[in-house]
Amino acid sequence: MHLEPGLLLLPYNNRWARKKVVHKALLSGVLLGIAVAPLPPAAGIGAGVLAGALACGAARISLHTWLELLFAPILFAATGAAVAAMGGGEGAVVALARVFGAASATLLLATTTPVLDLVALLQGRRGFRTLAELFLLSYRAVVAVGEAGLAMVKATRLRSLGQRWRTAPRVYGLFAGALAVRALENARRAEAGLAVRGFQGRVPLVGPGETL
């Protein structure tokens, strides 16, 4: 699948980009709560549809981009639901509806809010500064892997001379392996960055009367 250009700039190029982060976070949080609550599947589906309508209608995000972003989590959930259904498990439809609603609610915030605004919101709240550091460092690692992946895709297309993965399996196999190595390297750098910041593997909790 091919996401339209400027995906990383999407949170900055929509009608909701300058709206207050707190309001968008509350709206997404309410929709997320409805999606994961022990309610009928219609609740999760309704939350997902409403999130998509707000993103594409009010925030003016491309429907094509929205569907592309939803494709991976929905496909993952559908695979698990199919396995559960074949095993005689109940609740596959409920799980799929909840994933749809939760993914849509999360995307509503992610696609309409610049990352730095989210980090600033977390840093300004007592007890969330460590979480803000984790979030920002993880985002940098994801962006680094994404940029490396895009560069490797271009190189792969040149080496395969326009062939598909079916006709050039070796080239695309090397691409997948190299991307996995790049991802591992960036994960190790992120881990080193956390160690430098004094992170010990847990988020400290602030009790009554304490400060972080």
Domain boundaries, the chain: 7-113, 123-196
For residues 36 and 108, give the distance between their C-alpha atoms in angstroms, rounded to a whole number. Answer: 16
Q: What is the pLDDT of residue 2?
A: 44
Contact 33, 93 (CB under 8 A): no
Q: Which of 109, 5, 13 is nearest to 60 (CA)?
A: 13
For residues 3 and 24, give the distance between their C-alpha atoms in angstroms, rounded to a whole number. Answer: 24
Tokens of 39: 């309610």
Q: What is the pLDDT along the chain (212 residues), one digit of tens a residue?
A: 444 446 667 888 888 988 888 899 899 989 999 988 888 889 989 999 999 999 999 999 888 888 888 887 887 777 766 666 665 555 677 888 888 999 899 889 888 988 778 777 777 666 666 666 676 666 666 666 666 667 777 777 666 666 665 666 777 677 777 777 777 777 777 777 777 767 666 655 445 555 54
Global pTM reads: 0.60
Q: What is the pLDDT of residue 177?
A: 77
